[in-house]
Amino acid sequence: MKLSRIASFSGVVIISLSLISAPLLAADRQSPTAARKGAGLTHTPYIPAAKLKPFLDPKALSLQSAAAVVYDVRDGEVLYAQEADMQTPIASLTKLMTAVVVLERGSSLGDTLQINEADRDRLTRAPGCKWEPK
């Protein structure tokens, strides 16, 4: 049971990564000339790190995110980092794993969930949320 869950989850992750990486790989193989003509994905021109650094001054940025990293792949240089080592939950993988568990249990992703008073102690509400139990 546990092995099938891991295998299913791994399959979902591999398929997701394949779908995400295919357009990126196609963009790398595409010439900038073809991109300008509108064939396939467009290619963003390379901007050297030295030209970007002035725009990445932490005092000038007004980021709302808790963590951020801007990395120059060509030069292998981190241009900007804010709380780069902060550990955060992997929300997307958590959602995929939840779907695997639901499907493995025999439920449908289209099933409606009823939340009643007994479930209330397990829920947290965001400020301003208007949800009230029935």
**Over the stretch 89-102, which tens digit does the pLDDT of each residue have?**
777 888 888 888 88
pTM beyond 0.85: no
CA atoms within 13 A on the CB side of 37: 6
At residue 38, the pLDDT reads 47
CA-to-CA separations, 22 to 15, 27, 28, 88, in angstroms, rounded: 11, 9, 10, 27
Q: Label residue 39 by pLDDT band (50, 70, 90).
A: very low
At residue 117, the pLDDT reads 75
